[in-house]
Amino acid sequence: MSEQRKYIPFVSSETNMVEFTVRALIIGIILAVVLGAANAYLGLKAGMTIAATYPAAVIGMALIKMMKGTILEENFARTVGSIGESIAAGAIFTLPAFYIVYLDSGKKVENFFTYGTSTIIVIVGGILGIMFIALLRRVMVEDTELPFPESVAAAEIHKAGRRGKGKGSKFLFGAMIFGGIVKTLGEFKLFSVYWENFIVFAKQSITGTSFVGKGGLMLGSPGISTAYTGVGYIIGPRLAALNFSGSLLAWGLLTPMILYFIAPNIDIQAIASGLMATDPSLTQTAALNKAWISSAYDVWKYIVRPIAIGGMLVGSIYTLYMMRKNLITGIGRSVSDVKKAAKGLDVNIPRNEKDISFIWIMVGIVAVAIATFLITYYIFSTTILVAVVAATVMIILAFFFAAVSGYLVGLMGSSNNPISGLTLTALVVTALVMVLLGVHGNEGIAATLGVAAIVCVSAAVAGEMLQDLKAGHILGGTPWRMQIGDIIGVICAGSVMFFILSFLNQGDIANGIREGYQGGFGSSKLSAPQANLMALLSQGIVGGKMAWPLIIAGILMGIGFILMQVKSPMLVCVGMYLPLETTFAIFIGGLIKGVVQSYNKKRNHDEGQKEKVENTGILLASGLIAGEALVGLIFAIFAVGNIFPSAVFTNPSYIIGLVVLAVIAYVLIKIPLKNAGEPTNKFVQVKDKE
């Protein structure tokens, strides 16, 4: 087994091939910003991000190959380009929490959610992750027990391109264009992207009792979204079904049940009259329908969502518990790895084994610790003791979680890296430390979130960095050049991340005013589930504000899921937290993937053909996600400036939207299967030889 994972570099250490070039760096930076923006959009809306390694590999390969560049330039561009996704993941899981916390506490958002502070947190967290992985790279990359599945796949993409088989770029770019067009047509109201209706129960009494309730069931459709459908396709039918089951529980069980008992205290008629006053075109029936839908959304937002957050808390802990052996192994090795890494710093080591100088690594770690102290002391207005403790806790947690993140990526790939669970652990530990120090209120909450944010970004970047370093190890890249490139990528992507988050937030607020819902982080259109969880826990532990009855109900529900042996309680609870249209669309994407898998089996495709179908499908899905996300960000920027597209139809039809959904399904089924190629049993052998 170990022999199969000892790779001979594609480019030998004696070969001094062109690698760190201006064009490769520029392409990588652009990819880092673009893929980071796409993942920020997706993560805030759907609570998930997609691995950027494959899109960055395909795009970088296509552009550099067109410029007659080298394979190591492609590797360098991919490394820099993919780091934007991890920056986005770290940012969206934590930074919106500052906005939510300060909004709830009555302070102005500008008190913390500012460009300078947010950017410093993201950049120092990213640099810290790179420093720790530079320290541990040699030991972890050469570990024969770690398969690095996504690293091997990324390296194979580059190798295939050099063999003249790099056709993936046309699928990726074509899907991006298609996804952008669909999003644009939806924004111009050529079709309705969602349908919903409220069905009032015919009988409102409970048999055998004198109680008479009031309520019904809200019905909804899948959202017409290439991004959500693409996510469902990537995660597959089983995980998409788990995610959708959460929505069924939220909208089919909890919301109608709770609404039934509290609606007698709600004046639905008065709400309907208010809606008719603001919109005279509404009929009495339509206004009543909207009033019921609005009440159902209120129940979901203020009661069901906190229950879901309790379940997410249990789900995160359970995920870490299930990985306990790997986590304990990763933590145990991380200490000894530092000693091994320090011993290997020989100036005569080969080009493809040289990392950033050990001295500069230590300087970088100390600089981040100082930055954390300054942020905690000056911006969060804590005492010197609290600032010192916060910086110390941050360094310790960041080191262990960077090592653990890298280890888990080596086992399962960055797509399965439980960053939110690691961040949650960091937040709870920091919050308890703050409580022990006697820190309460907004200062303690901010310090807790600040430490958690830096640790989150650090762990996300560490995992992605190690994955790219392993791919570079296979191809023969130079580690220190890749690490310097990633530092530049972190600085560039981190410098614009605040604007991306701010535009999405402000754009959703503007859309909410226009369409009649409360927009911004945490809204039905911009859910930010992980950030809401972080905000609630920090407020609950440090600030003493917690909706304990609802949280405890969610915790018990999560325990029930575990006892029922639900595969991923966290994913079910995230499904409860997300809007029905989102999870329904993700579920449709999962079903489409299931159809593709069924055709694979029906046509007796061998492993090589299945691999080609899988790769083509992932590239198409990634392109659909990126296309919608980038166009969606553009429209969000327009919305901030109060510029909205003109509606083609006043009342657009959802039937046209269903036609669009059918086209999306056709693309995701037909094109991958069409490119399965001829049967071959040589696929694995070719990989092993190289």
Condensed to tens digits (0 to 9), the pLDDT of residues 270-321 reads 888 888 887 788 888 888 988 899 899 889 888 898 888 788 778 777 766 7
pLDDT value of residue 345: 46
160-180 per-position pLDDT tens digit: 777 665 566 788 788 889 998
pLDDT value of residue 682: 47
Can you tell me whether residue 199 is helix, strand or coil? strand
pLDDT value of residue 474: 84
How far apart CA 309 and CA 241 sit, in angstroms, is: 19
How far apart CA 186 and CA 189 sit, in angstroms, is: 5
332-388 per-position pLDDT tens digit: 555 555 555 555 544 466 777 777 877 888 888 888 888 888 888 877 777 888 888
DSSP string, 450-463: HHHHHHHHHHHHHH
Average pLDDT over residues 223-248: 88
Take residue 182 and report the two structure tokens written for it.
Answer: 């669909």
Phi, psi of 105 (to 5 degrees): -85, 0
Helix %, strand %, coil % of the chain (to 5) = 75, 0, 25
Distance of CA 379 to the CA centre of its chain: 28
Average pLDDT over residues 583-599: 93
Torsion of CA 627, 632, 634, 639, to 10 degrees: 170
Least Cα distance to 608 among 561, 676, 514, 509 occurs for 676
Using a pLDDT cut of 70, give the percent of the chain over it: 84
How far apart CA 64 and CA 57 sit, in angstroms, is: 10
Average pLDDT over residues 647-660: 87
Provide the residue type at 608 as one letter: G
Least Cα distance to 493 among 460, 445, 527 occurs for 460
DSSP string, 599-630: HHHHTT--HHHHHHHHHHHHHHHHHHHHHHHH
pLDDT value of residue 466: 87
End-to-end CA distance of the chain: 16
452-504 per-position pLDDT tens digit: 888 888 888 888 888 888 888 888 888 889 999 999 999 999 999 999 888 88
CB 531 within 8 A of CB 574: no
How far apart CA 534 and CA 528 sit, in angstroms, is: 10
How far apart CA 11 and CA 655 sit, in angstroms, is: 54
pLDDT value of residue 684: 41
Partners of 198 in the β-ladder: 218
pLDDT value of residue 201: 85
Tell me the average pLDDT of the chain. 81
Q: Give the pLDDT band (50/70/90) at residue 685.
A: very low
* pLDDT over 50 at 35, yes or no: yes
Distance of CA 381 to the CA centre of its chain: 31
* pLDDT over 50 at 683, yes or no: no
Average pLDDT over residues 505-526: 82
Which of 175-184, 446-455, 572-581, 623-632 has the highest mean predicted lDDT (pLDDT)? 175-184
* pLDDT over 50 at 686, yes or no: no
Using a pLDDT cut of 90, give the percent of the chain over it: 17
Average pLDDT over residues 627-636: 79
pLDDT value of residue 144: 62
pTM of the model: 0.74
Q: Give the pLDDT band (50/70/90) at residue 145.
A: low
Q: What is the CA radius of gyration of the chain?
A: 25
Take residue 464 and report the two structure tokens written for it.
Answer: 């992605």
DSSP string, 330-341: HHHHHHHHHHHH
Least Cα distance to 589 among 89, 243, 150 occurs for 243
Take residue 604 and report the two structure tokens written for it.
Answer: 């007796």
80-123 per-position pLDDT tens digit: 988 888 888 888 888 888 888 765 555 544 566 678 888 998 99
pLDDT value of residue 26: 93
How far apart CA 377 and CA 359 sit, in angstroms, is: 27
Q: Give the pLDDT band (50/70/90) at residue 593.
A: very high
Q: Give the pLDDT band (50/70/90) at residue 594.
A: very high
How far apart CA 230 and CA 468 sit, in angstroms, is: 24
Average pLDDT over residues 537-566: 83
